[in-house]
Each structure stands twice: as C-alpha cells, then as structure tokens.
A = this chain, B = another copy of it.
Amino acid sequence: MMDYPQFGAGLWNFASYVDRYATDGYGEPRSTIDQIRLAGQVGELTYVDLNYPFTPGVSLDDVKSALAEEKLKAIGVTPDIYLRQHIKGAFTNPDPAARATAMELLNGAADAVRALGARYVKVWPGQDGFDYPFQVDYDQLWRLAVDGMRDLAQANPDLKFVIEYKPREPRTHMFWCSAPKTILGIEEMGVDNVGVLLDFGHALFGDESPAEAAQMLINHGLLWGMDVNDNYRGWDDDMMVGTMHWTETLEFFHVLRKNHWEGVWQLDQFPFREESVENARLSIRFLKAVHRALDLLDEDGLARAQEAQDALAATRIVQNALFAASLED
C-alpha cells in the first residue's frame, strides 16, 4: 500500500459560484455545512481550508461538529476580505475605516484558527492593488500592504499567517503578485510568523516556473502551504489538476520531495459547471499517480542530467516515470 501524502481542499471547491455574467449563480447557494458534507463525500480528504465568516446561521460549533462527523480537520481559515466592504482594498484601502474593518475580519479569522486548531490564517487580499496606470502611489501601496501585514502578525504572535500571491483578478494588478515580491515584502515586515501559500496555478498564470518558485520560497524558509489546480496559463482558471500540465505538476512535487517538504497537498479549484465531488476525486486520482511517478523517477539519472542541464536526458527520465505510473494503485 502506498504511503500517500495527506490531501486537503479549500472548502470553496464545494461551493457554488457567481461571476459577472451568471449573476444568479452557477447553482443553488451552499452553506458552510453543505460544503463540509460534500468534502466528506470525496473520501480522500483529511483537511479543509474554511472561508470566514461562515455562511449565515452557521456557528463555530456547527462547523466543529460537521468536521468531526466527516473526519475532516481545519488546516487554515481564509477571511473574506474581498467583499463589497473592501472592493477598494483591505490592507491597501485608501480609507482607514475600511482598513479597520478588514483588520477586524482578519482577527476574527485568527480566533477561528485558534478555535478550530488550524495551522494558519490564509491571507488573500484580492482587492489590494490597482487597476489603472497612475491610480496609486506605489510607495503608499507598498507601505499599506507591508505595514498592515506586520501589524496583523504582531497582534497575533501565537499564530502563523500565509500570504497567497496571485498576479491579477479581481484587480488588474494585485499587490502580492509573485514569489519574489512576496519574499521581499515579508523580509521587510521583520516578523517570523508570516509565510507563503503557493498556488501552483497562480505561479503558472504569472509565468513563473512553479517548481522554481517553490524552491525559492523553501530557501527563504517561507513555503508554509500550497495548493494545486490547472489552467491555460492566461488566467487563473482553477481547473482540475492534471488536465493541462503534467510535466510541470510532477516537477513541482519533485522539488517539494527533494526538499523534504512534508505538507498537505491541497486543491484549489472552481468547478463552475462540474459536480464538485467527482471533480475533487479525479484531481486526487491524478495526484496519487504523480506521487507514484515520483517513486519511479530515476533520481540519480535525473541529478546527472540536471547537473549537465541536459533537457533531453531529463525529459526521457521524466516521461519514463510518468508513463509507468498507472492510475490504479
């Protein structure tokens, strides 16, 4: 029997969605509890990342009970700091009052992390950034983003915070947009409880090599979480893992293994039109094949090929492993 990693998923993998066109939603709204039930049905998940606040009428105790019943644990809590109140930004909002309400939400999420025994608050300030040239003073933007995160981290020294960067959407330019910029910002904070959650698809979308971004974050001691999905590189499509980029997905996990990174393999997908449970199962099926392919990889041969930067030798070895890894274990 394989020694698989633990799998997780953002609870929003099991939500329904709206966008600017289907304003009445891609399905009936689902409560936090509905979403936990669906996550449980997957049968492969150990962890979930929960949006905070929970949907109306759902209490912390309700969540704890549902998680327990589905044998799920909370890995993180993601505060909704990108709703109407904060469409001009959470940390970088020009209005101090809006920054204050964002901070309240973030501290609420921190309390939820404590209550649920989760590992971190996940910070994704989707509305922090700008849309037009000349719209912002970049100095001011930097200070607001960095000072705000530092304040939050210092106010909660018992907790960990992870920033999830992404190049754009819903702003045309998001502030935390790449691995190296996020590292620079965290360095400037001068705190030790802020790290990074690397989203494979965000790195692809931002023309990073996800594997290289992972290595860079690991070298700075900042890779504290990750999630995977897939896309066409031009947008954060949040498609099923393994539908587009086989080699780069394998390479990403190879870098994690090589560095003895022992975290949870999480899903961050938006199945707008697909059934959520099967969507997650298919993705995990692929991730298991990736895990078996890593076992089959000729590591010595690959190390020699990389030492020589020999793309041909490396490709042969990698394809051997991928083709040999059956989907059935």
Contacts and interface: CB of A to CB of B under 8 A. Distances in A.
A307 B240 contact: no
Nearest to A132: B311
A315 B19 CA distance: 25
B84 A310 contact: no
Contact of A207 (B82, B206, B318): B206
A85 to B, nearest CB: 8
Contacts of A244: 133, 245, 247-248
Contacts of A235: 168-169, 172, 234-235
Interface stretch (A59-67, A156-164, A177-185): A177-185
Contact of A286 (B183, B232, B251, B319): B319
A31 to B, nearest CB: 14
Nearest to A183: B184
Contacts of A272: 87, 131, 170
Contact of A306 (B136, B142, B180, B239): B136
Given A140-B307, A233-B233, A242-B319, A20 B23 contact: no
A326 B324 contact: yes
A58 to B, nearest CB: 16
Contacts of A136: 306, 309
B207 A87 contact: no
Instruction: Specify which of A25, A27, A234, A324 lies most central, judged by the most chain B CB atoms within 10 Å of its CB.
Output: A234
A168 B48 CA distance: 31
Interface in A118-137: 126-127, 130-137
Instruction: Specify which of A135, A137, A172, A255 lies most central, judged by the most chain B CB atoms within 10 Å of its CB.
Output: A135
Interface in A265-291: 270, 272-275, 278-279, 282, 285-286, 289
B216 A142 contact: yes
Given A23-B18, A306-B134, A323-B289, A312 B173 contact: no
Interface of A: 17-27, 82-84, 87-89, 94, 126-127, 130-140, 142, 167-170, 172-173, 178, 180-181, 183-184, 206-207, 209, 211-212, 215-216, 219, 232-235, 237, 239-240, 242-248, 250-251, 254-255, 270, 272-275, 278-279, 282, 285-286, 289, 302-303, 305-312, 314-320, 323-327
Given A133-B318, A324-B327, 15 more contacts: A22-B82, A22-B87, A22-B127, A24-B83, A131-B237, A131-B311, A134-B247, A135-B310, A172-B237, A178-B178, A233-B234, A243-B247, A278-B312, A282-B319, A323-B323
8 shortest A-B CB distances, which residue pairs?
Answer: A180-B180, A180-B181, A138-B215, A132-B311, A134-B314, A323-B327, A137-B306, A135-B311
18 contacts: A17-B20, A19-B20, A21-B127, A22-B127, A25-B84, A87-B272, A88-B273, A133-B243, A133-B247, A134-B247, A135-B305, A137-B307, A138-B209, A142-B216, A244-B247, A245-B245, A282-B316, A320-B327
